[in-house]
Structure 1
C-alpha cells in the first residue's frame, strides 16, 4: 500500500513558472497514453467494428434495392411496350372491322334499294292492272290512279 502520509508531508510550495517539470508531468503523460490505449481497445475498436458491419449491411441492402429497382424499371418498360403493341393491334383490328361493317352496310343498303324498287314496280303494275280491270269508266280510272299514286308515295316515303 502506498504511504499517503509521506506524500502529504512532502508538499511544499514551489515557486516556479508556468509549468513544473518535476515527476507529475511524466506521470500525467503516462496516464494520458494509458487512457487512450484503454479507450481504443475497449471502446473505439468494438464501435468501429459495429460501424463497419452496419456500413457493409447498408451497402448490401443498397445493392439489393438497386437491383430490384432496375428489375422493376425493366418490367415497367416491357409492360409499356406490350401495352402500346396491344393498342396498335386493337386499333388495326377496329379499323378492319369498321371497313368490313361499312362494306356490309353498303351492300345491304344497295340490296334493299334494288329490292324495294322492284317490289314497288311490281306493286304499281299489279295495282294498275286491277284498276283497269275493275272499271272502264274514266272517272273511276282517274280516282283509282290517284289512290294508287297516293299509296305508292306513302310506300316510298316509308
Structure 2
C-alpha cells in the first residue's frame, strides 16, 4: 500500500467514527433525561441498551481502528494494543493511559454483560465516559488534520 492508501483508509475510518459518534450522542442525550433510578421502564431500558452498544462500538472504532490507522499513516510497526495506545498517548490524543484503560475496560464489561441488571449497573459509567470519548475524538480529528483530512460538516 502507498502512503496515500493509508491516508485514505484513515479518512474512511474517521468517517465511520463521525457517524458512530453521532449515534452515540443521540443515545446519550436521550439517556441524560433518565437520571439514576431503581427501575427503568422497558423503553428506557431499550435506550440504555442502545447507548451501551453504541458506546462499545464507538470505543472500538476509536481505539482499535483509528489509533492503528494513524500508526500506519506514520509508518509505525503495529505491535500490540499496548504499543498502539502508548504511541497514541505520545501523540497527546488523550489525557492518560488510565483514561483509555477505563474506556476499554467498560467496553469489555458491556460486551460480556447479558442481563438487564448488569447493563443498568454500567449505565452510570457509560454516561461518565461518553463525553471523554467525544473529547478524545476531537483530539484525533485535530491531529489527523495534519494529513489533510478534515472533519465532515454535519448536514
Q: Is the structural similarity TM-score above 0.5? A: no
Give the structure-2-normalised TM-score: 0.27
Give the structure-1-normalised TM-score: 0.26
Identify the structure with bigger relative contact order (alpha carbons < 8 Å, sequence gap 6+): 2
**Rg comparison, structure with higher value:** 1
